[in-house]
């Protein structure tokens, strides 16, 4: 716990056998109350290894539901366990688990309700081996998103995120895609709802075992990002409000926050 707040780390896993142990070893277990691993029908020994490591909450999808579908299960289980703060960490060891404590602390202190680990602040992305074409695409998409959405984030595409449970309960995660664009839709929902987002500099690692999508999936993702950004703009202007931007009933911004299956 941090300041009396229950911290739950969720690991959306897919064929993470080669990197899971290193990731799990660096999680600051002295402040993390629970770890949840959701396996998206991996073909390797991810689940078996998770059991050997002593991860208590392991959920296995019998069929691959996609990266977004995996996260939906992660967050639903974390909220069921009574999490106050939920940290989403990729088990591919691309992001350092050592930032869990400072990211969760920002939320626990009531400074910001959402914190992103940014690869772009500082020189983490290129220094860590991000391919040049991905870096350029990241910068271009982020610029367009900031213009259309009306925010000032350094990037929208990091997979390292921490949320107040109130935020996760307020937005309609179930209306988002089960694919990679889920990440972008969630940030769009959060910003449209008026929550503020903090960013911390995060080093990153690109290596053979780290997960990555190919060029064509990246291209499709980019088209999806533009679609979401335009939808956000239309909602901001009151022209058309997509159902995903309608907050759940009885979900108001808390004063203390910055204004604004199967289990085995």
Residue 258 domain-assigned? no
pLDDT at position 95, please? 93
Residue 260 domain-assigned? no
* Tokens representing residue 198 in the block: 């903090």
pLDDT at position 54, please? 97
pLDDT at position 260, please? 36
Residue 208 domain-assigned? yes
User: Domain limits at 116?
Assistant: 7-245
pLDDT at position 205, please? 77
Residue 251 domain-assigned? no
From first CA to last CA, the distance across the chain in angstroms is 25
Residue 220 domain-assigned? yes
Q: What is the pTM of this model?
A: 0.89
Residue 257 domain-assigned? no
- What's the total number of domains in the chain? 1
- Residue 35: alpha-carbon gap to chain centroid: 15
Residue 96 domain-assigned? yes
Question: Among 104, 95, 93, 117, which Cα is nearest to 34's?
Answer: 104
Question: Among 33, 48, 41, which Cα is nearest to 13's?
Answer: 41
- Distance (Å, rounded) from C-alpha 134 to C-alpha 157? 11
- Distance (Å, rounded) from C-alpha 184 to C-alpha 71? 13
Q: What is the pLDDT along the chain (264 residues), one digit of tens a residue?
A: 999 999 999 999 999 999 999 999 999 999 999 999 999 999 999 999 999 999 999 999 999 999 999 999 999 999 999 999 999 999 999 999 999 999 999 999 999 999 999 988 876 666 666 778 778 888 899 999 999 999 999 999 999 999 999 999 999 999 999 999 999 999 999 999 999 999 999 988 765 555 556 667 888 999 999 999 999 999 999 999 999 998 775 554 443 333 334 455
* Tokens representing residue 44 in the block: 């390797």
Residue 225 domain-assigned? yes
Is 11 within 8 Å of 34 (Cβ atoms)? no
CATH of the domain at 50: 3.90.550.10
């Amino acid at each position: 716990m941090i300041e009396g707040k229950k911290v739950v780390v969720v690991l959306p896993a897919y064929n993470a056998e080669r990197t899971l142990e290193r990731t799990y070893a660096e999680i600051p277990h002295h402040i993390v109350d629970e770890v949840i691993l959701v396996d998206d029908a991996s073909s390797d020994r991810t689940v078996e290894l998770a059991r050997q490591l002593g991860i208590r909450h392991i959920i296995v999808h019998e069929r691959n539901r996609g990266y977004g579908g995996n996260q939906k299960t992660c967050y639903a289980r974390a909220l069921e366990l009574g999490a106050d703060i939920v940290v989403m960490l990729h088990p591919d060891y691309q992001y350092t688990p050592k930032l869990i404590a400072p990211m969760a602390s920002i939320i626990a202190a009531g400074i910001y309700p959402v914190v992103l680990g940014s690869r772009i602040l500082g020189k983490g992305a290129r220094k860590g081996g991000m391919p040049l074409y991905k870096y350029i695409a990241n910068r271009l998409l982020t610029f367009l998103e900031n213009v259309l959405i009306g925010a000032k984030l350094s990037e929208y595409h990091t997979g390292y995120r921490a949320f107040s449970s109130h935020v996760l309960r307020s937005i309609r995660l179930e209306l988002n895609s089960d694919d990679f664009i889920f990440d972008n839709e969630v940030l769009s929902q959060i910003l449209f709802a008026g929550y503020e987002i903090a960013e911390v500099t995060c080093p990153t690692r690109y290596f053979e075992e780290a997960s990555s999508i190919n060029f064509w999936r990246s291209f499709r993702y980019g088209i999806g990002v533009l679609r979401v950004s335009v939808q956000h703009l239309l909602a901001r202007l009151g022209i058309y409000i997509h159902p995903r931007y309608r907050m759940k009933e009885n979900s108001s911004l808390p004063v203390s926050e910055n204004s604004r299956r199967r289990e085995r």
